[in-house]
């Protein structure tokens, strides 16, 4: 069953990992002309780990900005129920968890958790910070496309940090479909889309009721979201 396969082949991205912390620093320094540093010393959170970055001059209201970026697995067992029903649920959840870890932070700093998911969604605080940073980069460079370029670079940084995990997810999805036999994927064959061991998948359709009764609704929804998201990424 799908849940058994996930237990046997856990995705590497089920644990949080930093995947986009460098790009904001680059944008702050080179484009928004706001000096910033990675992993500032003396600002450990409740578990002893340091945040990803901090601006060296005030960002807003006379306070420096401190941020901590985390990428979470959209299909992790701990997130699948939520992510199958709401896009970005895992990213939003990890942002809330990050904020709790920094609840004792010095009031002279502005803290923003930057949560993203392996399948692409960003958390609300990550989107808000990106919007503000993009505005400043556009004002600094005079290029109205600068914000779009920054978003592309952050997305690429996420993909690079996520590469090993995506490979394992491909293996997991392949095992999932193979577990139910070739008939389950016979309506998904096409000339384009996502390639999984030679098979081309674009949309998730079900050949009969076997799959529907064997998998949970959350698993079906998450698999559909996974295929649609990766298909869109491959097509760009």
pLDDT tens-digit readout, 46-62: 777 888 889 999 999 99
Same domain, yes or no, for 116 and 17?
Answer: yes
Same domain, yes or no, for 37 and 144?
Answer: yes
Is the pLDDT confidence value at 203 over 50? no
Kindly state the percentage of the chain with pLDDT values over 90.
16
Same domain, yes or no, for 14 and 91?
Answer: yes
Q: Is the pTM of this model over 0.75?
A: no
pLDDT score at 22: 53
pLDDT band at 155 (very low <50, low <70, confident <90, very high): confident
Same domain, yes or no, for 96 and 180?
Answer: no
Same domain, yes or no, for 36 and 122?
Answer: yes
pLDDT digits (tens, 9 = 90+) for 58-107: 999 999 999 988 888 887 888 888 888 888 999 999 999 999 988 888 88
Least confident of 95-109, 145-159, 209-223: 209-223
Question: Last residue of a domain, which of 161, 191, 209?
Answer: 161
pLDDT score at 125: 95
Same domain, yes or no, for 194 and 153?
Answer: no
In a domain, 2, yes or no: no
In a domain, 113, yes or no: yes
Token pair 């674009």 is at which residue?
202
Residue 112's DSSP bridge partners are 67
Same domain, yes or no, for 150 and 89?
Answer: yes
In a domain, 1, yes or no: no
Domain coverage including residue 185:
166-235
Q: Which are the contacts of 114, defined by CB distance < 8 A and separation ≥ 6?
A: 20, 21, 24, 52, 67, 68, 69, 70, 95, 123, 125, 126, 129
Burial class (CB in 10 A: 0-12, 13-18, 19+), 59: buried
Torsion of CA 212, 213, 216, 217, to 10 degrees: 50
Question: Last residue of a domain, which of 161, 185, 216?
Answer: 161
pLDDT band at 204 (very low <50, low <70, confident <90, very high): very low
Same domain, yes or no, for 29 and 139?
Answer: yes
Same domain, yes or no, for 47 and 95?
Answer: yes
Same domain, yes or no, for 63 and 119?
Answer: yes
Same domain, yes or no, for 125 and 224?
Answer: no
Number of structural domains found in the chain: 2
Least confident of 106-115, 120-129, 152-161, 195-204: 195-204
Q: Is 66 left (phi over 0), alpha (psi -120 to 50) or beta?
A: beta
In a domain, 4, yes or no: no
Question: Last residue of a domain, which of 110, 136, 161?
Answer: 161
> What mean pLDDT is reported for the chain?
68
């Amino acid at each position: 069953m799908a849940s058994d396969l996930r237990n046997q082949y856990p995705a590497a991205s089920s644990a949080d990992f930093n995947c986009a912390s460098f790009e904001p620093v680059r944008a702050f320094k080179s484009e928004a002309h706001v000096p910033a540093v990675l992993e500032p010393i003396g600002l450990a959170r409740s578990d002893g780990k340091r945040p990803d970055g901090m601006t060296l001059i005030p960002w807003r209201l006379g306070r420096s900005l401190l941020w901590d970026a985390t990428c979470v697995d959209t299909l992790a067992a701990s997130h699948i129920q939520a992510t199958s029903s709401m896009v970005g649920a895992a990213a939003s959840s990890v942002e809330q968890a990050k904020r709790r870890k920094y609840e004792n932070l010095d009031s002279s700093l502005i803290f923003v958790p930057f949560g993203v998911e392996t399948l692409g969604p960003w958390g609300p605080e990550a989107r808000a910070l990106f919007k503000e940073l993009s505005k400043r980069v556009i004002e600094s460079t005079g290029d109205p496309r600068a914000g779009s370029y920054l978003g592309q670079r952050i997305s690429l940084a996420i993909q690079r940090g996520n590469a090993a995990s995506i490979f394992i997810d491909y293996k997991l999805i392949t095992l999932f479909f193979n577990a139910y036999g070739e008939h389950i994927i016979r309506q998904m064959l096409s000339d384009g889309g996502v390639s999984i061991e030679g098979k081309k998948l674009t949309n998730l359709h079900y050949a009969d009721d076997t799959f529907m009764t064997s998998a949970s609704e959350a698993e079906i929804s998450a698999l559909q979201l996974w295929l649609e998201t990766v298909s869109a990424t491959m097509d760009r």
